[in-house]
Structure 1
Amino acid sequence: MQLKRPESVLVVIRDEHNQVLIMQREDDANFWQSVTGTIEEGEIPLNAAYRELAEETGIALPKSTHPIVDCRLVSQYEIRPAWLYRYPKGSQFNNEYVFSVKVPIGLPIVLTEHTDFEWTSKQEAMQKVWSRSNRDAIALFVPD
C-alpha cells in the first residue's frame, strides 16, 4: 500500500438552490462528508480538487462554466487514530485545502468510494457531516 501524504482537498458541492451534497463513507456508516482526497505527489491542490470531484461523484463539468473556487482556507486536523497506518510514520496532522463548487440541479451522481449520498440543506449538512473542518467549510462557503 502506498502511504498517503498528509495533505488533502475538501470540495463542498452545492446546487443552484444551495442544497449541499454529502456522501456516506463505505468504511464507516456514521461518517458523512463532502468530497475529500489526498493531494498526489507533484499535484497542486486545485487540480486535486477537480480530480477528486470527478473520481468520487462522476461530476466533470467544464471549468469555464462551473469553476471550482479556491476558498483560500487550509484547515488542519488530527488524523483519526484508526487511519494513521495509511500515512508516513510520525504523521499526526493533515492539512486540508478547502474548495467549493456550484453545480446544476439534477446532475447524476456516480459513487465510487461511498455507499449513499444526499442533497440536504446547509443546516442538515452541517449536522450530519462527521468532521469539524467539513462543518466549518459548509458554514463559511454555502450561502444561507
Structure 2
Amino acid sequence: MTQAKPYKIPESVLVVIHSADQHVLLIERADQPGFWQSVTGSKDSLDEPLSETARREVEEETGIVVADAGVDSVHGESNRVPRAHLRDWQLSNIYDIYPVWRHRYAPGVTRNTEHVFGLLVPRDIPVTLAPREHTRHVWLPYREAADRCFSPSNAEAILQLPRYLGT
C-alpha cells in the first residue's frame, strides 16, 4: 500500500530569473494554460534553507543549475550560473492560496508565505522545462513580463527588478 503524498509546506520561494538588460524569463503552467509565472515552489522540508529551495526549484523547472564557485562557464555554453547570482531580495508576501491548489495543503491551510529571490543569468542560457509543470517559456522586458503574470505578487516582484539591479 502506498502512502498518500505529503501535504505541501505553506512556505515557498518565487525566483525572478532575469538578464542584466532587465528581461525576465516567464514559464507557462501546464495545468493552467495562459498562466505565466516566474519559478515558484514550496520547501521540501521545514528545515530546508530558502536559498536551497530556490536553487532546487530553478533546476527542476528550467534546467538551469545554480552551482558553487568554480563553474566553468556562464556565457551560454552551459546551463550553469554561479551561486552568487542567486540573490535573496529580502521580500516576502503572504497571500491566499488559490482554491484550485488548496487540496495540496493540509486541511485548513489557506495562506502561503512566499520569499522572493532574483537570479541573474545570460539571456541565451539553455532552458529545459519540466513538461509536467510548464509548456512554454518566453523572455520579456520586465514591464511586459509583469503584465503577463497571473499572480499579483509575481508581477509586483518583477516590477522591483530595477531596484535590485541598481538601475
* TM class, shorter-length: over 0.9
**Aligned residue runs from structure 1 range 41-60, under 5 A:** 41=45, 42-60=47-65
C-alpha deviation, 1:17, in angstroms: 1.9
Larger Rg over CA atoms: 2
Cross-structure match for 2:39: 35
Aligned counterpart in structure 1 of residue 143 of structure 2, from 106, 123, 135: 123
Could you say which residue in structure 1 is the equivalent of 2:127? 109
Cα distance change on mapping 1:140 and 1:89 into 2, 3 Å: same
Cα drift, residue 83 of structure 1: 1.0
Q: How far is 1:132 from its partner? A: 0.8
Q: How far did 1:74 drift?
A: 0.9
State the Cα RMSD in Å. 1.3
Distance in 1, matches of 2:52 and 2:35, equals: 25
Distance 1:45 1:90 in 2: 24
Q: In structure 2, how many angstroms separate the alpha carbons of the residues matched to 1:85 and 1:59? A: 29
- 1:75 match: secondary structure: strand
> How far off its partner does 1:102 sit?
0.7
Q: CA deviation at 1:140?
A: 0.9
C-alpha displacement at 1:90, in angstroms? 0.8
In the aligned structure 1, how far is the partner of 2:91 from the partner of 2:143?
Answer: 21
5+ residue gaps, structure 1, are none
Identity of aligned residues (%): 40
**TM-score, reference length from structure 1:** 0.94
Q: Counterparts of 2:29 and 2:68 in 1: how far apart (Å)?
A: 27
Structure 2 unaligned blocks of 5 or more:
70-81
1:138 corresponds in structure 2 to 158
- Relative to the length of structure 2, the TM-score reads 0.82
| Bigger relative CO (Cα 8 Å, ≥ 6 apart) | 1
Q: What SS does structure 1 have at the residue aligned with 2:85? A: coil
Moved over 4 A (4+): none
CA contact (8 A) 2:66 2:86 kept: no
The DSSP-based 3-state class of the residue aligned with 2:160 is helix
Cα deviation, 1:82-101, whole Å, max 9, x if unaligned, reads: 11111001101000010001
Q: Which residue of 2 aligns with 1:97?
A: 115
- How far does residue 141 in structure 1 lie from its aligned partner after superposition? 2.4
